[in-house]
A and B are shown apart, each in its own frame.
Chain A
Amino acid sequence: MSSAITPDQVTSVAPVAVRKIKSESQWALAWRRLRRHKLAMFGLFTLLAIVLVSIGADMLAPYPYDEIDLGSAYAPLMTPGVDGAPTHILGTDKLGRDILSRLMYAGRISLTVALVTTILTMLVGTIVGAVAGSFGGWVDNILMRFADLMLTLPDLPILLILSSSLRQNQAFTQFLGSNASVIIIIFILMVFGWMGVSRLVRGSVLTLRSQEFIQATQALGGNRARIIFSHLIPNSIAPIIVAATLGFGAVIISESALSFLGFGVMPPVPTWGNMLNEARNSPLEYLFTQALSPGFCIFLTVLSINFLGDGLRDALDPRLKL
């Protein structure tokens, strides 16, 4: 769940946004460096395409995602539709639902879950890390020992247990309504995802804390909240962005893994992961066509994210180049 972050990434964070004018030129510079990174641009545009197709699923999808046609179940690729209906380009599933249309709608859920989880994870991780780093002492000690403990827990088994048991809790699922399984999955992934970022932020806060502009803020009467929110966090934003990008890919994989095992987002809501779960339970001769496209969507999304993250790492701090 946590992205691997080496100590030299933490210590070599440049104090970027000291003055307003300079910070803008830094971002422009980073963008120019990113544009030169071919793989990162490939990732960015592929990702944009995937996002746009998912958003526009209502207009683009040839069929509704839940239109059942038992007569043409498990249709192979490029099966013509009945009575002049659109072609099933990627075939149909066990209930005769059009796989391409389901993929588009599934993208919505998978991407939304990943986006919300990543934002929440970054938020929690940043706050915990900033508090630990700037308070120091026993606060730092307790928070970081807790993060260590969380990192040592075997995460996948616990995700499975929490997800299965929260779903069985009637009161809880009724309170959350029809999207219960989606909200549960976001919550669980967040609880087990904040540690990497908090360590990262804490590290960069520790290096920033002793620098002159922080002391200047203190001398001018700025309180702790002001130091944390308007100096420490903006100055450690670069590694947070990289971690968030790579974390987004990791969340897509985790969510799909849980849904694949039947402990994540539940049908009839389609996600790439639970479509793969249905593929696994289909007769073996249909396995290839059923599993190919949902898995490829996960692969393409995560690959694009990883390319983009790699490019961002190079662009935001050229010294980090591996």
Chain B
Amino acid sequence: MTDYIIRRFVQSIILLFFISMLLYVILNLVPGGPFDMLRLSNPRMTQSQLDRLNSLLDLDKPLLPGQYCPRIGDMQEPCRFDQGRYLRWLGKVVQGDWGKSWTIANGKQVLDLIWGRLGYTVLLMGISLVVAIIIAVPIGIYSAIHQYSIIDYLVTALAFFGQSMPTFWTGLMAMAIFSVALGWFPTSGVRTAGSQGDIIQALGRIFTFGKLHPEMAGMEWKYIADGLRHIALPAGVLVFFNLATWSRYTRTSMLEVLRQDYMRTARAKGLAERFVILKHGLRNALIPLITILALRIPSLFGGALITETIFSWPGMGRMLIDSIAGVDWPVVQGILVISSFLVVFSNFLGDLAYAWVDPRIQYS
């Protein structure tokens, strides 16, 4: 088992290396740079000034290791070997220096920016996923046990509907109905205007036993309640979307298990039906769901990106859209690194969990 973990871990690191290289190259083949605006606003700027600025940011170095021939204006310096921008960037990233934002938050450290947004995205994704699974798994089990019943058809229909409704439409409609027409929930944002704190800060204070945000003492629950009112609509939209997928997966997986011989054996030895379903059926049906959960993390992230944009939720997804629109490549790179790390890491965890819960898997 230890060998298996180590091997999968090394594979994940290698995969992450290739993914980050591919992403870096894609981003850097793209036209546009940090000085585009400067150059537009300052037509007297000369090419050699621009070259000097570019060389300060290493933008004139080759992407991958190779020959580097520095050129400032008309001056040509002798060529030498350079490790390339990718390796230089990777070295810094590993040391915790993720560069500085070019445009959206001029000069701020990318890592700080991401750190400030990560909590909001994790909260939104986490709540919606957990709620969706809690509702979907029982629904899936019920409709598998009562296959071809009316409830089963309803669940299947719901799954089809949910999968065919894009989150950007359900989001807009939920906003139009529940906040504009009925006024039940706020339309956007994470806290009521004028509020001094929000749900993430309040949770941070609670989890650090009052070390963070001393000014919020005694107000935590008020901020959390306010935050929950704001998260209800975006999370509800994501729950609806995930519900469709998860109830269908659970149903399929459960149907597969119900056909197995060990189910008949369990019944034959006189176990109560309830016990057979939950202990022998459900536990085996959950195994494939673990892998699916791991594989679906990227699409969850994509769904959160759209939902965050609709409801102005200040998460990483919204920051990504802003930074792409603002040609802020260091921030974009940072978010891509985090999200590919999430993806690779969740695949790794998925494999481990799979090997751990399913004794039939051979590690060698």
Contacts and interface: CB of A to CB of B under 8 A. Distances in A.
Interface of A: 149, 152-158, 160-162, 164-165, 168-169, 249, 253, 256-257, 260-263, 273, 276, 279-280, 284-285, 287-288, 291-292, 294-296, 298-299, 302-303, 306-307, 310, 322
Give the bracket for the number of chain B residues in contact with chain A: 35 or more
Contact of A160 (B23, B164, B187, B320): B320
B324 to A, nearest CB: 5
Given A149-B18, A307-B160, 10 more contacts: A156-B301, A158-B336, A161-B30, A168-B30, A168-B327, A276-B168, A276-B169, A284-B176, A296-B169, A303-B161
A260 B320 CA distance: 15
A164 B323 CA distance: 11
A154 B340 contact: yes
B6 interface: no
A280 B310 contact: yes
A256 B172 contact: no
A295 B166 contact: yes
A306 B163 contact: yes
Contact of A257 (B168, B252, B336, B344): B168
A287 B175 contact: yes
A155 B298 CA distance: 8
Contacts of B163: 302, 306
Interface string B293-305: 0000010011001
A63 B172 CA distance: 26
Interface of B: 15, 18-19, 22-23, 26-27, 30-32, 160-161, 163-166, 168-169, 172-173, 175-177, 180-181, 187, 252, 255, 298, 301-302, 305-306, 309-310, 320-321, 324-325, 327, 332, 335-336, 339-340, 343-344, 347
A157 B31 contact: no
Contacts of B306: 156, 257, 260-261
A168 B32 CA distance: 8
User: Which one of A156, A249, A296 has the highest number of Cβ atoms from chain B below 10 Å of its Cβ?
Assistant: A156
B302 A155 contact: yes
Nearest to A280: B172
Given A257-B306, A298-B169, A322 B255 contact: yes
A157 B336 contact: yes
Given A154-B339, A280-B172, A287-B180, A306 B31 contact: no
B331 to A, nearest CB: 12
B324 A164 contact: yes
B166 A291 contact: no
Nearest to A253: B166
Given A161-B26, A161-B324, A149 B19 contact: yes
A196 to B, nearest CB: 12
A152 B344 contact: yes
Contacts of A249: 164
Contacts, number: 131
B15 A261 contact: no
A152 B351 CA distance: 14
B332 A156 contact: no
B26 A162 contact: yes
B314 to A, nearest CB: 17
Given A154-B336, A303-B160, A291 B176 contact: yes
Contact of B325 (A164, A169, A288): A164
A246 to B, nearest CB: 10
A153 B340 contact: yes
A268 to B, nearest CB: 20
Nearest to B245: A4
A299 B165 contact: yes
Nearest to B163: A306
B337 to A, nearest CB: 10
B164 A287 contact: no
B31 A291 contact: no
7 contacts: A153-B340, A160-B324, A260-B166, A276-B168, A287-B175, A295-B169, A295-B172
A253 B161 CA distance: 13
A257 B306 CA distance: 8
B27 A157 contact: no
User: Which one of A165, A273, A279 has the highest number of Cβ atoms from chain B below 10 Å of its Cβ?
Assistant: A165
B168 A260 contact: yes
A180 to B, nearest CB: 14
B306 to A, nearest CB: 6
A156 B232 CA distance: 24
A280 B27 CA distance: 29
